[in-house]
Amino acid sequence: MRNRNIRRLAIGLSVAGLAVAGLFAVRVFAGSAPAAKAERISATADILDSARSRLANDCLARRGLTLPDEVAASGLDLREFPYGVDDVEWATSHGYGTDLMDQAERERKSSPRKLFLDGLPPARRAAILLAMNGAGPRSTSVTEARLPSGGVVRRSSDSCIAEAERELYGDLATWYRVERVTDNLPGIWVAEVLADPAYRSALGAWATCMRGRGYHYDNPSKAHQDLRTAPGATREREIRTAVAEATCAHSSGLAATARGLEQRYAASVRTKYADEIETRRRLEEAAVPRACALLPQC
């Protein structure tokens, strides 16, 4: 499973929800579609993210508050590997991606929004965050959604983020519900893959391959945890371990097994939640012209 390149920086301090649509779109809408289609979906998601940010800033201005515009990030090739790293070329360059995560964190800390907020008096910063996010579940006006897991999430419907989404998508309650539900779908099929006997069997072959290379791990997560906690872990060690993991993922059949299982389980999950996926797609497609009316890059 691949993440899109990160093009926008979250501003942090509880306003980070402004840049999440693209990852969902590629994983749930594109699936195993050709790269060109995935890129188009990702670009559309970026447009909607940018428009939501612009509308939220306009909302702040109407409330007598200001916040700098978001700044495009540097296109970091951060990725997700829920079943273990399986891209040897990427692992050779980035190991487990700690270099990219460190760079993303540096960019976040030095972003105009973060620096602006950090430089404000505490009361002013709190006022901006309250206006942007609302009072959460304690708000007098709340939108809620029931997740596939059965839990319920709630969010202020009088915040600037909510106002921006209402302007973009029209029906805020429906948008919030389908966004929250569909954002959780990849986690469902990842859990099903990890629990499947075929995946667990392939892990045994992977572990045997890793032992042959001098690494004694039962599964990829233990390798990652070891590198995070081991004293004196070096960049060279990270890359060597990640390359071995990726190489064994292919030679052991783990990567192919995980890919096949994910296609099957993802298809089942998409079918089960087809109405929510289609509703989100419809709302986003209808929002694009509204977004483009605000943005010069459309």
Model pLDDT, residue 22: 43
Contact indicator for 238, 93 with CB cutoff of 8 Å: no
> What does the pLDDT read at residue 77?
86
Residue 251 within a domain: no
> How much is the pLDDT for 81?
93
Q: 3-class DSSP state for residue 253? A: coil
Of 108, 128, 140, the residue nearest 57 (C-alpha): 128
Out of 7-21, 112-126, 208-222, which region has the weakest mean confidence (pLDDT)? 7-21
Instruction: Indicate whether 172 belongs to any domain.
Output: yes
Distances (CA, A) of 223 to 99, 219, 244: 17, 7, 11
Mean of the pLDDT values across residues 245-256?
97
* pLDDT in the model for residue 137: 65
DSSP 101: H
Q: According to the model, what pLDDT value does residue 31 have?
A: 55
- The domain of 72 spans 6-189+261-292
Residue 2 has pLDDT above 60, yes or no: no
Q: What is the largest CA-CA distance in the chain?
A: 64
d(CA 246, CA 286): 41
CA 248/CA 242 separation, integer angstroms: 10
Report the C-alpha gap between 288 and 298 in whole angstroms.
9
Identify the pLDDT of residue 68.
87
Instruction: Calculate helix-pair angle for 160-169, 274-292, nearest 10 degrees.
Output: 90
Q: What six digits make up the tokens of 118?
A: 């950090």
Return the SS3 of 221. Answer: helix
Amino acid 57: pLDDT: 94
Q: Which pLDDT value is given to residue 37?
A: 57
Report helix angle 160-169 to 172-183, nearest 10.
100
| pTM confidence score | 0.82
The interaxial angle of helices 254-272 and 235-251, nearest 10 deg, is 80
For residue 222, give the nearest of 203, 197, 196 by alpha carbon.
Answer: 203
pLDDT of residue 114 exceeding 70, the answer is yes
196-247 per-position pLDDT tens digit: 999 999 999 999 999 999 999 999 999 888 887 777 778 899 999 999 999 9
Higher pLDDT, 138 or 203: 203
- Does 215 map to a domain? no
Domain assignment of residue 57, yes or no = yes
* Residues 222, 232 contacting (CB under 8 angstroms): no
**Stretch 8-35: mean pLDDT, rounded?**
42
Calculate mean pLDDT across residues 250-258: 97
CA dihedral sign of residues 234, 238, 239, 240: positive
More confident residue, 265 or 36: 265
Is 168 domain-assigned?
yes
**Residue 121 and residue 126: Cα distance in Å, rounded?**
9
* pLDDT (mean) for 79-108: 93
Check if the beta carbon of residue 96 is closer than 8 Å to that of residue 85: yes
Find out whether 174 and 279 touch, Cβ atoms under 8 Å.
yes
- Confirm whether 87 is domain-assigned: yes
pLDDT digits (tens, 9 = 90+) for 22-69: 444 445 555 555 555 566 667 788 889 889 999 999 999 999 999 987
Residue 264's pLDDT is what?
96
Q: Percent of the chain having pLDDT more than 90?
A: 64
Q: Which long-range contacts (CB under 8 A, 24 or more apart) does 18-21 make?
A: 18/49, 18/52, 18/53, 18/56, 18/70, 18/161, 19/49, 19/53, 19/70, 20/49, 20/183, 21/45, 21/48, 21/49, 21/284
Q: Mind listing the pLDDT tens digit for each residue in 71-81?
A: 666 678 888 89
Residue range 4-19: average pLDDT? 34
Q: What is the pLDDT of residue 117?
A: 93
- The residues facing 143 across adjacent strands are 155
Q: What is the structure's pLDDT at 74?
A: 66
Task: State in Å, rounded, how far the first CA of the chain is from the last one.
Answer: 28
Residue 239 corresponds to which tokens in the numbers above? 């890359």
**Residue 136 within any structural domain of the chain:** yes
pLDDT at residue 19, rounded to an integer? 34
Domain count across the chain: 1
Residue 7 pLDDT greater than 60, yes or no: no
Task: Inform me whether the pLDDT recorded for 164 exceeds 60.
Answer: yes
128 lies in some domain: yes
